[in-house]
Amino acid sequence: MAPTVLHLRSETKHLEHRSALTPATTAALIKAGYVVNVERSPERIFDDAEFEDAGATLVPEGSWVDAPQDHIIVGLKELEEKEFPLQHVHVQFAHCYKQQAGWETVLARFPRGGGTLLDLEFLIDERGRRVAAFGFHAGFAGAALALEVWAWQLSHNEPFPGVASYPNEDALIANVSKALNSGAEKAGRLPRVIVIGALGRCGSGAVAALRKAGVPEDNIVKWDMAETAVGGPFKEITDSDIFVNCIYLTSKIPNHVNLESLQTPDRKLTVVCDVSADTTSPFNPVPIYTVATTFDSPTVPVDGLKSGPKLSVISIDHLPSLLPREASEAFSYDLLPSLLTLNDFHNSPVWARAEKLFKDKVATLPASALEN
């Protein structure tokens, strides 16, 4: 039997430096009998030569489109918005299963071409737990960025400027700690930060970043399901300087905060980091903004406030790319056991569940979306 060929595509999302495969996981796949083709990439945090040294074959950027149909295309973030149907099996985050804006167009490209989507966001084990996720580093980066924005707004009227990826965690924390100290000097105190979803991967990453940056333990309010069970909105959010939302939702719950709850005259809240960043999802429990932000423009102001301080929202949907090497290494390491079974994805439980979910979602598409 011919070996299964994996084709790692170059990411096209602006400032996306992460990778679903690393040189280490590539070497492990090749050792297990896979052939791995890696597109050259000007953006990926790992040098092309690192993959070549691991045994991969380097191929031109964007060549996945013309790859043989039996090659499995491995990526990370969503594909560029194009019209042509997709004929391959694609492993990636597609952001089209929760009724996000334009989901029908994104999803329909797969059945229109006879392709299959195995969405990384929905790879789960027999207990329903995700086998790999960027949650920890998303929360870590989001909380770190929120601290910087809090400090910035104390001394500036203009929006927080663009940011770039850091080479490592130490460099990020050094920068955030410096900003935090500057903000504390201006405010005469350190911020109070509430993290909702604090016990999960994402929330634990947020709490870790706050601690490493120098926020005292007493200033970190750690909430999870027990605290939110009564249903929001919650005054504890507007009583805090920063709110980091780390809740992952697939159904609607009462809003944590809304425009009405923000009108309280004693609001202290000035920064919201919605790490989940399901901006257009009807399940979003933070419906106070409608714009996804970017590394170039990290914040969006909340409109419609009658009083109180300026309030900014961070809603970047690829926050872990602030720490691309460490985030990629952790994610790909966790994903590796599943990657090693891709050669029999129809029967491997993790991938079979993902394939069934894909077929279930395709069944909900309107007939008009499937017209070529």
Residue 244: predicted pLDDT: 98
Distance of alpha carbon 235 from alpha carbon 361, whole angstroms:
37
Question: In the predicted model, is pLDDT for residue 249 greater than 80?
Answer: no
Is 34 marked as binding a ligand?
no
Is 9 marked as binding a ligand?
no
Is 317 marked as binding a ligand?
yes
pLDDT-derived band of residue 1, with 50, 70 and 90 as boundaries?
Answer: confident
**88 near 325, Cβ under 8 Å?**
no
pLDDT digits (tens, 9 = 90+) for 308-351: 999 999 999 889 999 999 999 999 999 999 999 999 999 999 99
265 CB burial (10 A radius; 0-12, 13-18, 19+)? exposed
Is 228 marked as binding a ligand?
yes
Is 183 marked as binding a ligand?
no
List, edge to edge, every strand of the sheet that includes 5-8.
57-59, 35-39, 5-8, 72-74, 89-92, 116-119
pLDDT digits (tens, 9 = 90+) for 126-137: 999 999 999 999
Distance of alpha carbon 366 from alpha carbon 37, whole angstroms:
36
Beta strands in the chain (DSSP E): 5-8, 35-39, 57-59, 72-74, 89-92, 116-119, 193-196, 220-223, 242-245, 271-274, 299-301, 312-314
Is 129 marked as binding a ligand?
yes
Residue 14: predicted pLDDT: 85
Question: In the predicted model, is pLDDT for residue 172 greater than 90?
Answer: yes
Percent of the chain with pLDDT over 90: 89
Is 115 marked as binding a ligand?
no
- Name the residue with higher pLDDT: 16 or 100: 16
Token pair 């086998």: residue: 131
Residue 371: predicted pLDDT: 83
End-to-end CA gap in the chain: 34
Residue 183: predicted pLDDT: 98
**65 near 82, Cβ under 8 Å?**
no
pLDDT digits (tens, 9 = 90+) for 259-312: 999 999 999 999 999 998 878 778 889 999 999 999 999 999 999 999 899 999
Residue 213 CB neighbours (<10 A): 22
Residue 193: predicted pLDDT: 98
Percent of the chain with pLDDT over 70: 100
323: alpha, beta or left, given left = phi > 0 and alpha = psi -120 to 50? beta
Residue 362: predicted pLDDT: 96
Cα–Cα nearest to 109, from 136, 68, 79: 79
For 59, phi and psi rounded to 5 degrees?
Answer: -130, 165
The least confident of 30-34, 151-155, 317-321 is 317-321
Residue 250: predicted pLDDT: 72
CA dihedral 337, 340, 343, 348 (to 10 degrees): -20
Residues 6+ apart with CB under 8 A from 161: none
Residues with catalytic roles: 77, 95
Is 339 marked as binding a ligand?
no
> What one-letter code names the amino acid at 246?
C
Cα–Cα nearest to 157, from 299, 314, 306, 322: 299
pLDDT digits (tens, 9 = 90+) for 198-236: 999 999 999 999 999 999 999 999 999 999 999 999 999
pLDDT digits (tens, 9 = 90+) for 87-123: 999 999 998 988 787 899 999 999 999 999 999 999 9
Is 18 marked as binding a ligand?
no
**SS3 category, 37:** strand
Is 275 marked as binding a ligand?
yes
List, edge to edge, every strand of the sheet that includes 242-245.
220-223, 193-196, 242-245, 271-274, 312-314, 299-301
Is 72 marked as binding a ligand?
no
- How would you label 283-302 residue by residue, b for 16+ Cβ within 10 Å and e otherwise? bbbbebbeebbbbeebbbeb
What six digits make up the tokens of 368? 């008009």
